[in-house]
Amino acid sequence: MIPITVVRVGDRERELVNQVLDSGSLAQGKMVEQFESLVAHMAGTRHAVAVSNGTLSLVAALQALEVGPGDELVTSPFTFVASVNAALHVGATVRFADIEPDYFTLDPTKLDSAITDRTKVVMPVHLYGQMSDLDAISTVIGDRDIKILEDAAQAHGAATATRRAGSILGSFSFYATKNISTGEGGAVTTDDDDLADRLRMLRNQGMRARYQYEMVGYNYRMTDLQAALGIPQMERLDEINAARRANAERLTEAFADVDGLTPPPVADGYTHVYHQYTVRIGEGAAVTRDQAIEQLTEKGIGCGVYYPKAAYDYDCYRNHPGVIIEQCPEAERAATEALSLPVHPHLTDSDLDQIIDSVISVVRG
Ligand SMILES: Cc1ncc(COP(=O)(O)O)c(C=O)c1O
């Protein structure tokens, strides 16, 4: 089986983890600080505040922006539910703006109708490693007092022609399968000194100095063990992303002229980091997406569906007073057509050949 993800820990990671173990100091310390400076460098921001996971980094960012009950947030319906859960966790109301069908990210032309007088945040999701069109989103927001919070969980090192992922206000995840992984982990990136200060206090029970509580906080801290895993990977980020990109380019070239199979396009001037390599299997294919999964699995090709439904399309959200649903047909269509294939850096040439041959034969029937 060629798995959809492979997690390998290198010698340098082991060395740094052992350093932490030998230091006797396992909680947040110097390793976290070093990891934060690498994350800030990646996003091109002055600050990165590391936290225990990507969901909490969204929560912390929303709390730092003082988003709460009565405030609304607009996000993409085609995302991992953490984007929605974080907003509900702080008591905000969630609305959705449909996705742009080529790139699977929030469609700026659908945004205005989801914005109301209560909207405080727009949260685009940089899905699969390709950024949302932040310039177009900013233009739609105009001079309204609405903040952009980028859910960049899947977009380590991604960029548009004009911005890096996380450069406005970013939330990253370092969950086990992400391009950079600390097992569990997250970080908020920002240029705003006050916001960074509030985030650091929120993460540490509202303390600036020991036992001096300046706000109501919580424990969102990352440990040095997590950071020790992340540092060497962060130092190799360009290399890791380049390997993913090379694999993706090879797949896209091979899939260029197959009826019913649409490889993921890259927007002009964008840097896609291929957290997932996601094709559409649609009209013209000999099989449905779900039949393709069955047949590819039989042929030993690991594949995944991210995501099987629009985020609102579950009873727990449909019946939630904090979720306001307008149907999003493009998200619903993507949920039936999107199929992610292995693109991770450990694929060999023969793995890629096998993926290409299997996918083409399944889609052609
Ligand atoms: C788009 C998106 N947002 C948020 C998260 C939440 O991150 P975590 O799993 O680290 O809490 C994830 C990751 O799984 C994600 O893919």
Q: What is the mean pLDDT of residues 155-173?
A: 98
Is 226 close to ligand 1, i.e. is its CB under 6 Å away?
A: no
Q: What percentage of the chain reaches a pLDDT higher than 70?
A: 100
Query: Has this prediction a pTM greater than 0.95?
Result: yes
55 with 89, same domain? yes
Domain boundary among 235, 252, 271: 235
Tens digits of per-residue pLDDT, 314-326? Answer: 999 999 999 999 9
Residue with tokens 């380590």: 156
Tens digits of per-residue pLDDT, 54-72? Answer: 999 999 999 999 999 999 9
pLDDT at 312: 97
Q: What is the mean pLDDT of residues 327-335?
A: 98
Nearest-angstrom CA–CA distance, 192 and 168: 9
Q: What one-character-per-residue DSSP string does 311-344 give?
A: TT-SHHHHT-TTEE----HHHHHHHHHEEEE---
Contact 304, 278 (CB under 8 A): no
pLDDT at 197: 98
Q: How confident is the model at residue 224 (pLDDT cuts 50, 70, 90)?
A: very high
Which two structure tokens, joined as six digits, stand for 262? 């649409």
Residue 2 falls within a domain, yes or no? Answer: no
Size of the chain, expressed as the number of residues it contains:
365
126 with 253, same domain? no
pLDDT at 198: 98
Query: Which range marks the domain in which residue 284 is found?
Result: 237-364
* CA nearest to 31, candidates 200, 236, 206, 222: 222
Is 82 close to ligand 1, i.e. is its CB under 6 Å away?
A: yes
Q: Which helix (H) or strand (E) holds 360?
A: helix 349-364
Q: Distance from the CA of 54 to the center of ligand 1, in angstroms?
A: 5
Q: How confident is the model at residue 1 (pLDDT cuts 50, 70, 90)?
A: very high
341 with 261, same domain? yes
Which two structure tokens, joined as six digits, stand for 224? 């040095």
Tens digits of per-residue pLDDT, 269-302? Answer: 999 999 999 999 999 999 999 999 999 999 999 9
Residue 183 falls within a domain, yes or no? Answer: yes
343 with 358, same domain? yes
Q: How confident is the model at residue 241 (pLDDT cuts 50, 70, 90)?
A: very high
3-state secondary structure of 48: strand
3-state secondary structure of 208: strand
pLDDT at 238: 98
Nearest-angstrom CA–CA distance, 51 and 146: 24
How far CA 21 is from CA of 27, 33, 235, in Å, comes to: 10, 17, 21
263 with 219, same domain? no
Contact 206, 215 (CB under 8 A): yes
Is 186 close to ligand 1, i.e. is its CB under 6 Å away?
A: yes
212 with 247, same domain? no
Characterize the bridge pairing of strands 186-190 and 47-51.
antiparallel
Is 223 close to ligand 1, i.e. is its CB under 6 Å away?
A: no
How far CA 251 is from CA of 116, 180, 248, 274, 331, in Å, comes to: 42, 22, 5, 12, 24
Kindly report the average pLDDT of the chain as a whole number: 98
CATH number at 356 reads: 3.90.1150.10
* CA nearest to 280, candidates 291, 264, 266, 295: 264
Q: What is the mean pLDDT of residues 215-240?
A: 98
Nearest-angstrom CA–CA distance, 35 and 237: 12
162 with 214, same domain? yes
Is 60 close to ligand 1, i.e. is its CB under 6 Å away?
A: no
Residue 298 falls within a domain, yes or no? Answer: yes
Nearest-angstrom CA–CA distance, 288 and 72: 37
Which two structure tokens, joined as six digits, stand for 274? 């291929």
Cα end-to-end span (Å), the chain: 21
Nearest-angstrom CA–CA distance, 256 and 271: 20
Ligand 1 pocket test: pick from 39, 51, 53, 55 the residue with the most ligand atoms within 8 Å of its Cβ. 55
Tens digits of per-residue pLDDT, 244-272? Answer: 999 999 999 999 999 999 999 999 999 99
159 with 54, same domain? yes
CATH number at 75 reads: 3.40.640.10
Cross-strand partners of 51 = 186
Residue 224 falls within a domain, yes or no? Answer: yes
pLDDT at 265: 98
CA angle 114, 76, 165 (to 5 degrees): 115
38 with 84, same domain? yes
Is 150 close to ligand 1, i.e. is its CB under 6 Å away?
A: no
How far CA 95 is from CA of 16, 100, 310, 355, in Å, comes to: 43, 16, 13, 38
Residue 1 falls within a domain, yes or no? Answer: no
> Quick count: other Cβ atoms within 10 Å of Cβ 280?
21
Nearest-angstrom CA–CA distance, 346 and 323: 40
Domain boundary among 208, 235, 262: 235
Tens digits of per-residue pLDDT, 103-162? Answer: 999 999 999 999 999 999 999 999 999 999 999 999 999 999 999 999 999 999 999 999
Residue 267 falls within a domain, yes or no? Answer: yes
Q: Distance from the CA of 171 to the center of ligand 1, in angstroms?
A: 9
280 with 261, same domain? yes
pLDDT at 145: 98
Q: How many domains does the chain have?
A: 2
78 with 221, same domain? yes
67 with 114, same domain? yes
pLDDT at 179: 97
Residue 241 falls within a domain, yes or no? Answer: yes
Domain boundary among 235, 262, 293: 235
* CA nearest to 56, candidates 180, 179, 175, 165: 175
